[in-house]
Amino acid sequence: MKWISAILVILLLSLQYKLWVGQGSFAEVAHLEQAIKKQKATNAELHERNAALDAEVKDLKKGVAAIEERARSELGMVKKDETFFQIIDEQPKK
């Protein structure tokens, strides 16, 4: 009877070891859940960025106003019969 009890105790301890420390343990599951939450947050940020870029691409394909705005701000272009004024703020001399 002592042998059966000893075998059952050893079996119970080995199962407990796997539950707390081994592969698929509580600690590993908690770590993986945290990694999933972090990845979902990253995916949400990237999804928002992709949606904004998609909207900008659609606007550039269809709208003339967006192209004109980019030409003015990034390339410094002006329309025909339009005068460009550049105002420079003077900085105080030291």
Rounded CA-CA distance 80/67 in Å is 16
pLDDT for position 94: 66
Cβ atoms of residues 32 and 39 within 8 Å:
no
Domain boundaries, the chain: 39-72
Cβ atoms of residues 61 and 55 within 8 Å:
no
Record the pTM.
Answer: 0.51
The pLDDT of residue 29 is above 80: yes
- State which of 40-49, 53-62, 77-86 shows the largest mean pLDDT: 40-49
Element (H, E) at 28: helix 26-62
Rounded CA-CA distance 29/32 in Å is 5
Q: How confident is the model at residue 32 (pLDDT cuts 50, 70, 90)?
A: very high
Element (H, E) at 54: helix 26-62
pLDDT for position 52: 95
